[in-house]
Amino acid sequence: MNIMLFHSTYGLRPAVHAAADRLRAAGHEVQVPDLFEGRTFGTVEEGLAFKEEVGKDELLKRAVLAAAPYSDRGLVYAGFSFGAATAQTLALGDEKARGLLMFHGTSDIAENASVDELPVQLHVADPDPFETHDWLNSWYLQMQRTGADVEVYRYPGAGHLFTDAELPDFDRASAELAWKVALGFLATL
């Protein structure tokens, strides 16, 4: 499987490369674009400030340009938090997308978004300060309306970025379970 993996607002840090290596070890080809052009951050607030400074449109343009050389192959779009939101936007706009794997985040869905049974899997903390229950319920229904085949996995008591071993949110048991389920999902695509 060809996977385009997007980083969180912390930037392209070692944890993202470790995730890509895990995917490669499972037999996948993985691209890991750096939407922040080398910048990494120690806090989510710093990353969000940088994201706002660069602007949503510019970051989306960078993501599209990163994916373009590979999209004819039928990509699985994947990402962490902000990267998951980016992956969602690209997957919903790419008729050749093979799947969408999201960790820790979602995004708004365009009213005219439509896919043909796109397999989607979301892994999210429960509760998550960035992904409230009401929002996730609404997101799930909207994704289903687009034609996506959606699975949501919630991890009680885990922190927002619970798969990132370098952050305080890390929860080893939840992370291992999420990866086991995610790798199983990718194997079905």
| Tens of pLDDT, residues 17-39 | 999 999 999 999 999 999 999 99
The mean per-residue pLDDT over the stretch 147-154 comes to 97
| Tens of pLDDT, residues 49-99 | 999 999 999 999 999 999 999 999 999 999 999 999 999 999 999 999 999
Mean pLDDT across the chain: 96
Query: Which residue matches tokens 């799930």?
Result: 140
Q: What are phi and psi of 112, to 5 degrees?
A: -95, 10
Provide the pLDDT for residue 65.
Answer: 97
Provide the pLDDT for residue 115.
Answer: 94
**How buried is residue 176: exposed, middle or buried, by Cβ count under 10 Å (0-12/13-18/19+)?**
exposed
How many whole angstroms separate alpha carbon 80 and alpha carbon 169? 13
